[in-house]
Amino acid sequence: MASKVVKRAYKYRFYPTVEQAEQLARTFGCVRYVYNRGLAERSRAWTQEQRRISYAESDKLLTQWKRDPATEWLTEPSKGPLQAALRNLQGAFDKFWRKQAGYPQFKKKSKSKESATYFANCFTFRHGRIKLAKQSEALDIRWSRPLPDDVEPSQVTVSRDSRGRYHISILVEETITGHASTDTTIGLDAGITTLYALSTGEKVSNPRHERRDRARMAKAQRVLSKKQKGSSNRAKARLRVARIHARIADRRRDHLHKLSTRLVAENQVIAIEDLSVRNMVRNRSLSRAISDASWSEFRAMLEYKADWYGRTVVAIDRFYPSSKTCSTCGRINDSMPLRVRDWTCACGAFHDRDINAAKNIRAAGLAVLACGDGVRPSRS
């Protein structure tokens, strides 16, 4: 079993004091301001002078903004989060120039997630306690799981979500030992009623977390819509809506983590479909169910965990007719409507639609792995 050094983030919840919460709120505001002003300067330089501003130039501009009496409040937070905002802006432009994303957008003051990143010289980590720069006390972190032994965090990211919860994500370099090699291979067919059908014949049911809380969500949103804008009652109602959203997201993520961890531990090769989720959610009848299934997030989990533990994830072409093909004789049916859940092939083989598709995906994945035909670039 080979070992591999990877960068891994450990996320914990923490409870700031009143002073720390106020200082973090100012930091979040300064981070947003620096990002937006950096974006405005870059846009102006390109529009008026046809030149690009580099990260180094942006950093010099940040020094000038701090010396300007009108924006001297930028000296209140640590310099690390402000420089990290400019690095994030540089990364956004890099993706834009490579045509991997659209033009960077200005950040609005939002009641959703806000975050700030601190580099190694902007926080201290001693005896299992973390203290951020320009704060007098260490953070009250709930260590739900221990950090690996003998590791030093290289950076931490502090965030506040729409529910008002504070989290800290600690980035470390960790040596991970891969799983023992196995001959087991598996194919996965994504669905809605059944979240995933496995080529082994197992079906993983879809918990449908959003549907289970849909009535509570609808009631909370109706209450919110009737509150006067800017009132304290509206703020309380918005918080109730955010709590329901957070509950749904937390349960969904937990379920996907457990499933992806099990599949990576048990199988050497995992074959999946290269689904175009962005196009599929345009179907208004199925968009809510598809979003709740979170296929893209699950695929991302499979890919990075497989990379950590020495496994292989193969994505087959999205146009491969896995549902219409008989996994026994290879005959391809002309059509296979969604309402057909089981069928009998002309060769006499009886198929469950989802299990049959998973078997075909497994066979196609092994073929792709062997000859490379139809391989698409990894989304990571």
Catalytic residues: 189, 273, 354
What is the spatial distance between Cα 143 and Cα 72, in angstroms, rounded to a whole number?
37
- Amino acid in the structure at residue 360: N
Q: Give me 12's structure tokens.
A: 């914990």
Contact status, residue 373 vs residue 367, Cβ threshold 8 Å: yes
Contact status, residue 273 vs residue 322, Cβ threshold 8 Å: yes
Q: Where are the alpha helices (DSSP H) in 144-231?
A: 209-212, 214-225
Q: Give me 26's structure tokens.
A: 């100012």
CA torsion through residues 362, 367, 370, 374, sign: negative
What's the gap between Cα 343 and its chain centre? 37
Bridge partners of 343, per DSSP, are 351
Number of Cβ within 10 Å of residue 299's Cβ equals 24
- Helix axes 79-97 and 18-49, enclosed angle (nearest 10): 40
Q: Would you mind telling me the total number of residues written for the chain in this entry?
A: 380
Nearest CA to 157 out of 143, 142, 171, 140 is that of 171
Show the beta-strand stretches assigned E in the chain.
3-14, 114-119, 123-126, 129-132, 141-142, 155-160, 166-177, 185-190, 194-198, 203-205, 269-273, 312-316, 342-344, 350-352
Q: Please report, for residues 37, 61, 62, 84, the alpha-carbon distance to residue 68 in angstroms, rounded to integers and kept in the order given.
A: 14, 11, 10, 21
Contact status, residue 223 vs residue 286, Cβ threshold 8 Å: no
What is the maximum alpha-carbon separation in the chain?
82
What is the spatial distance between Cα 221 and Cα 216, in angstroms, rounded to a whole number?
9
Angle (CA) 284 256 151, round 5°? 135
